[in-house]
Structure 1
Amino acid sequence: MNEEEFTRCIQVIRQQIEALHGYIVWLPAQQQQLLAETIEEIATSIGNLQLLQEEMQASLETMEVIQEDLLGQNEYLAEERQRYYELFQFAPDAYFLTNAQGIILEANRAAGALFNLLPDFLVGKPLANYVHETERSVFRTRVDNLLQVFSSVQEWEITMCPRGSKPFDAALMVTPVRSSSGTLVFLQLIVRDVTQYKQLNLQQQPAVASQLLPEAESVSLPHTLDGVQVLFVDDEADAREFITAVLEQHGISVTAVGSVIEALEVLERSRPDVLLSDIRMPNEDGYALIRKVRALEAQKGWQIPAGALTAYLAEDRAKAVKAGFQSHLHKLAEPKELIAMVAQLVGRA
């Protein structure tokens, strides 16, 4: 029943009520009063009903306005979603969206090109499948750590293997996306091939090393550093093995660990002569480590000379020194530069 039909029915009922007034005079007095009261109640109910109908009509009109607004918003959101989808798909960098376990949910065209696969083929596969087999356990451990450790954007370096091509050095920017309760829901990843960048760094290494540790040029390498104990902290297993081998060739005793927590555990048991630490590490970085080491020294009365290592050209030497390191060296520096830094830190230059 529409509004017009409803109004017509109300009018007919009112006319019938008015007609009943003509019959009241023929009834006994008691029945006249009872009928009059009944007619009055009916008239009041009809008035209320008509008022309710008017309110409902006003509500319907308001709902129509809201519906029009919602339709407009839905159209806007659909346009925005399409725009962001196109930005995602045609972005120059390889973008991935995975679940909390590292299973690929979305991959853009650049990601497909980087791994020589169609993006749709990547969906549903573990991203770890495209990590070099020697580093898969490290990659999975890092992903698992994100479930337990609340952290913002992280930068990882890892070797990845595209289909039908040679492995390449990859830099990953990993952004955890969490629910309001803090539960890890998604991982957003940007993957870049930095192989050429690293090769360029190797070519520029002499100039870089002289800028990062200019005083090392005047340091003569000692014939031996026997007895010197070095605690080396780096989350990359390959870096730990390489640095350890270089140091041990000069008689240095090396304890190599992969995290800030492990380093602090070692420091609770023993006091090394020198601390060497990578700057960029997941969860807690080298800056966090040196702060905690300096606090520990205040308790134990120690003073451990420390050197910072970095794989990034843009890493600020002044920032590292201000944080508490005495020296700063690029990882691509020649081994003799590293030995010179340790010798200088330990006072055997």
Structure 2
Amino acid sequence: MSDEQVQQYFQAIQQQIATLQQKQMLIPLQEIMIALDELQLIYDEMQTSLEAAEVVEEELFRQNQRINARYYYYYDLFYSSPIAYIVTNASGVILEANQAIAQMLNVPQRYLIGKPFAVFVAESDRLIFYNKLNRLAQNSKVQHWQINLCPRQKEPFDAQLHISATCNISGCVEALQIGVYNMNLYQHNQFAPKLNSQEIFTADVKPLSQLPHLDGLQVLVVDDETDARDFITAVLESHGIRVTAVASTAAALEALETCHPDVLLSDICMPDGDGYSLIRKVRELEAIQGWHIPAVAFTAYLTEDREKALSAGFEAHLHKLAQPTELIAMVTQLTQQNHNAY
């Protein structure tokens, strides 16, 4: 029924009541007129609410169109990304996979959906993989795992997994977003990140076994990720370097009160004070103490601004995907430069 028809009904009823009033039926008719007026008021309010609802519905429709457009944009971005990428549930079962990971594992893209990612993990690493999965709920930060993957009908390769967990309100992991990097490509310098434009060390990088032991050197490592600290510590200590490893800017400044390291190696992105704030405080402390600590910005992000790191006070910038040989060579070069300067 249209609004015009409803108004016609109201008018017809009012005319009939007016006719009855002329016939001396005043008392009940007055009550009917009051009820009719209230009904008219209720109807008007309903019309107003309906008009407001139509406005809201139109806005929701436009928002839904925008959301759909963004969804398809990111959907295409995900599937066409050159970075191998999967989404799994908390148990590691693949929910989504892009073309790059299908090519990396040498299987059809559709085959990956519903398969445990662990089937592509080397058998020797599967127990470690599942143990790490079980501990993800205790750590909401992006994690970097080193693991061996076995593609179909191809040689196994060393991989680095960049893993971010999505948790529900209770803190339980619901999904994992995993970027997969073939470290063999970096080892052969096909995609290896460059050092800073000042070319911090000029000699060719030697095999790790040919690098000298650096007994007596001390390095302060600052990284909020336990795996990263453990890996860097193992590399440095294997060459006789004494390592103090801490998880925050505050802990690093506290360590500097009792030690004077030969090199500072700091992550850039940390939740409780980033590497930029740390290097500023270190340089302020140096002005008071009268000594200098060569510092390396160590980052997991390929897009990290190298020039920004150097301008902030770091002498060098190194990606976490760099080879251990590069790390040792950089520490050696920085130490030599610092000793020559003093």
* TM range, smaller chain: 0.5 to 0.7
Of 275, 283, 287, the match for 2:263: 275
Q: In the TM superposition, what whole-angstrom CA distance separates every residue of 1:268-302 from its partner, at most 9, and x where no partner exists? A: 68424512415567656654554454466678x47
Q: In the TM superposition, what whole-angstrom CA distance separates every residue of 1:6-55 from its partner, at most 9, and x where no partner exists? A: 84486257426524633x3xxxxxxxxxx524323323432443454455
The answer on 1:108 being equivalent to 2:109 is no
Structure 1 residues 229-238 or 67-76, which shifts more?
67-76
Pairing 1:297-336 to 2, within 5 Å after superposition? 301=289, 303=291, 305-308=293-296, 322-325=311-314, 332-333=325-326
Call closer, same or farther: CA 1:47–1:114 in 2, change over 3 Å. Answer: same
Give the structure-1-normalised TM-score: 0.60
Provide the residue aligned with 1:21 in structure 2.
Answer: 22
For the residues of structure 2 that align with 1:50 and 1:84, how far apart are their CA atoms? Answer: 51
Q: Is the 8 A contact 2:309 2:317 kept in 1?
A: yes
Cα distance, 1:189 vs structure 2: 4.4
For the residues of structure 2 that align with 1:76 and 1:108, how far apart are their CA atoms? Answer: 24
Call closer, same or farther: CA 1:178–1:343 in 2, change over 3 Å. Answer: same
For the residues of structure 2 that align with 1:209 and 1:303, how far apart are their CA atoms? Answer: 26
The answer on 1:11 being equivalent to 2:12 is yes
Q: Is the 8 A contact 1:95 1:108 kept in 2?
A: yes
Call closer, same or farther: CA 1:265–1:43 in 2, change over 3 Å. Answer: closer
Q: Is the 8 A contact 1:171 1:193 kept in 2?
A: no
In the alignment, structure 1 segments of 5+ residues that lack a partner are: 25-34, 217-222
The answer on 1:197 being equivalent to 2:190 is no
For the residues of structure 1 that align with 2:254 and 2:160, how far apart are their CA atoms? Answer: 31
Call closer, same or farther: CA 1:264–1:102 in 2, change over 3 Å. Answer: farther
Of 23, 29, 34, the match for 1:39: 29
Provide the residue aligned with 1:257 in structure 2.
Answer: 245
Provide the residue aligned with 1:220 in structure 2.
Answer: none
Matched residue type, 2:12 = Q
Provide the residue aligned with 1:92 in structure 2.
Answer: 82
Provide the residue aligned with 2:201 in structure 1.
Answer: 213
In the alignment, structure 2 segments of 5+ residues that lack a partner are: 205-211
Call closer, same or farther: CA 1:82–1:275 in 2, change over 3 Å. Answer: closer
Call closer, same or farther: CA 1:46–1:83 in 2, change over 3 Å. Answer: same
Call closer, same or farther: CA 1:42–1:167 in 2, change over 3 Å. Answer: same
Q: What is the identity percentage for the equivalent residue pairs of Structure 1 and Structure 2?
A: 23
Q: Is the 8 A contact 2:118 2:126 kept in 1?
A: no
Q: Is the 8 A contact 1:280 1:310 kept in 2?
A: yes
Call closer, same or farther: CA 1:213–1:70 in 2, change over 3 Å. Answer: closer
Call closer, same or farther: CA 1:263–1:159 in 2, change over 3 Å. Answer: farther
The answer on 1:231 being equivalent to 2:232 is no
Q: Is the 8 A contact 1:98 1:186 kept in 2?
A: yes
Provide the residue aligned with 1:241 in structure 2.
Answer: 234
Give the structure-2-normalised TM-score: 0.60
For the residues of structure 1 that align with 2:261 and 2:68, how far apart are their CA atoms? Answer: 62
Instruction: State the structure with more CA Rg.
Output: 1
Matched residue type, 2:16 = Q
For the residues of structure 2 that align with 1:43 and 1:263, how far apart are their CA atoms? Answer: 81
Matched residue type, 1:85 = Y
Q: In the TM superposition, what whole-angstrom CA distance separates every residue of 1:220-250 from its partner, at most 9, and x where no partner exists? A: xxx9976x3412527254443333233x2xx
Aligned length: 317
Q: Which has the higher helix share?
A: 1
Pairing 1:283-302 to 2, within 5 Å after superposition? 283=271, 287-294=276-283, 301=289
Q: Is the 8 A contact 2:249 2:274 kept in 1?
A: no
Cα distance, 1:161 vs structure 2: 1.4
For the residues of structure 2 that align with 1:70 and 1:311, how far apart are their CA atoms? Answer: 42
Matched residue type, 2:104 = L
Call closer, same or farther: CA 1:19–1:135 in 2, change over 3 Å. Answer: closer
For the residues of structure 1 that align with 2:89 and 2:160, how far apart are their CA atoms? Answer: 20
Call closer, same or farther: CA 1:344–1:138 in 2, change over 3 Å. Answer: farther
Provide the residue aligned with 1:342 in structure 2.
Answer: 335
